[in-house]
Amino acid sequence: MSYANPNRKNVDVIILGSGIAGLVLAAELNLKGLKVALSCKGQLLESNTSFAQGGIAAVTGVNQADSVEAHLKDTLLAGAGLTDESIARTIITDAKSAISRLEELGVYFDRADGALELAREGGHCQARVLHRKDTSGFAISQALIAHLRSCDRIQIYENMFAHELIMQDNTCTGVRFLLEEQLVELRASHVVLATGGLGQAFSRTTNPSIATGDGIAMAYRAGARLADMEFVQFHPTALSLPSTPAFLISEAVRGAGAHLIDSEGARFVQRFHADGELATRDVVSRAIFSVMTERNEPSVFLDLRPIGAKGILHEFPNIVQTCRNWGIDPLVRPIPVSPAAHYFMGGVWTDDRGLTSIPGLYAVGECASTGLHGANRLASNSLLEGAVMARRLAQVISGSVISLNVRRTPVQAAGFKAPVARESLDRFRQLMWQHAGLIRQGASLAEFIDSSLSETLHQVPLVQAEIEAANIRLLGHLIAQAASNRQESRGAHWRSDYPACDDKNYKRRHMMARSGNAWLELPLPAPLLRAEAMAFAK
């Protein structure tokens, strides 16, 4: 179906987004007897979750050599000093029960001899990643969507674009949508952002076209606090061919034994880190960038052949087929790869239950910044965070009885800006890659910030593509501003003019809001988590 009848009423919670966080939350609230309106701007399967290849990192007891403490240690190391240890411990400890719940909801993970089959990825000291071949996220999404479609209490609204949050007395009371050239208002006491990331802010990204940061931009405009906006993770290995998408080549192939080589066939990552191809993503991405720069070449190469043909075909059939579609047979020759924007560690600031700084507004998944990922996400921790935080948030908002009021009004075009030319947005995304991408520098950031200051915070045309463009421009400006403010290199944030990590001045989280910016120490004080009690540090 394209969308549900928007005149249906009497739901309890509005969820925006159909990735793992939104889908699991809907399932949990349905189980608790609540009625849910689940909305997405495209089809349910269009999400970053569906594009995820690797899987979910979780300590399940299958690997006897693994432990919660080991997983926590890997997460803290990857986070480069900015991971909130308390939140990370909570999420990692809850992983086993979250996996069990996913299986109850119909998700199937690969097994070997009846036991869960585990893969090892970069930054992990043990094999702990549950997967379904190399299309893990797609399989998870399919299973969860099938479950939700059987739930009578869940109203599904596809192709309905969230335009802005409705605010009353500094409280979020609903959402305004665009649907068939009309405005639709949905009202509820609980509004949950599960809208995913913002990879489309960059000209080269592994993210689908829907990843325009809409939920984060809406929250900022409504007055919510954002955190860690400077930390964008660039995946080291995306297909690099002229006029082709930056198709993700999963980190799992390196965990299985694939090698990164230069144009002469020599391995090189060990020059930059002792862990070689299994170093964290920031290290491998910069190693690739350095070799590309040294040799003045557009890519390096990922050689899957050390895995063996049988293993490649068994574990990575989607990667093989997609590469063959673009004229590269991984069984015969290495794949040209280079980094691409992949995952956003920043987002709407939340506590360990998904509460934001605005009453009535919650955030889960990639659009939220809980503190789990710190300065650099550990591979496959994102799907885990989405599943665990969705279940925790369900506990917070379950039991409430709320009514949802729907009002349809014609689009009013008067008073809005003229559409932004597509060429202008493409140029902006190229400038983001150039100035706020993998390698950053102060003067370059300042030049970009000055050129992007004209971005409006309020009035944008009531056309989906133009709202998305405005969201990209707003968030791109905030990313650049945060990157300029952090005058050090840490995790995924690399400043060529400040190449050292500066714990004395910057072992702090960077907060941004329309009311001002601030640096806050870890762990964040609990009273700041409510808007009426929150005051930025001076």
- Domains of the chain in sequence order: 233-342 (3.90.700.10)
SS3 assignment, position 163: strand
Residue 296 is encoded by which pair of tokens? Answer: 């003045």
End-to-end CA distance of the chain: 51
Distance CA 482, CA 511 (A): 9
Query: Which candidate, 91, 98, 54, places its Cα nearest to that of 75?
Result: 91
Residue 310 CB coordination number (10 Å): 8
Contact 508, 84 (CB under 8 A): no
Pairing, β 118-119 against β 129-130: antiparallel
Active-site hit among 176, 221, 281, 377 = 281
Query: Which candidate, 19, 82, 2, 35, places its Cα nearest to that of 375?
Result: 82
The pLDDT profile of the chain, 538 residues, written as one tens digit per residue, is 334 455 545 578 999 999 999 999 999 999 999 989 999 999 999 999 999 988 999 999 999 999 999 999 999 999 999 999 999 999 999 999 999 999 999 999 999 888 999 999 989 999 999 999 989 999 999 999 999 999 988 999 999 999 999 999 999 999 999 887 788 899 998 999 999 999 999 999 999 999 999 999 999 999 999 999 999 999 999 999 998 999 999 988 999 999 999 999 999 999 999 999 999 888 999 999 999 999 999 999 999 999 999 999 999 999 999 999 999 999 999 999 999 999 999 999 999 999 999 999 999 999 999 999 999 999 999 999 999 999 999 999 985 644 445 444 444 433 334 445 556 899 999 999 999 999 999 999 999 998 876 544 445 567 899 899 999 999 999 999 999 999 999 999 999 999 999 999 999 999 999 999 999 887 655 544 443 334 442 2
Instruction: Quote the pTM value.
Output: 0.92
Q: pLDDT at position 341, please?
A: 97
Residue entry with tokens 């399932």: 27
Contact 237, 291 (CB under 8 A): no
Cα–Cα distance list, 537 to 236, 346, 357, 524, 529 (Å): 36, 19, 15, 11, 13
* Amino acid letter for position 495: R
In Å, the largest CA–CA distance within the chain is 65
Rounded (10°) angle between helices 422-436 and 442-451: 160
Contact 176, 167 (CB under 8 A): no
Q: Which residues contact 330 (CB under 8 A, 6 or more apart)?
A: 304, 305, 312, 316, 319, 320, 323, 324
Residue 384 is encoded by which pair of tokens? Answer: 């885990």
Query: Is there a catalytic annotation at residue 281?
Result: yes
Residue entry with tokens 């990843």: 211
Cα dihedral across residues 270, 272, 274, 278: positive or negative: negative
Q: pLDDT at position 54, please?
A: 87
Pairing, β 300-303 against β 259-261: antiparallel
* Amino acid letter for position 243: S
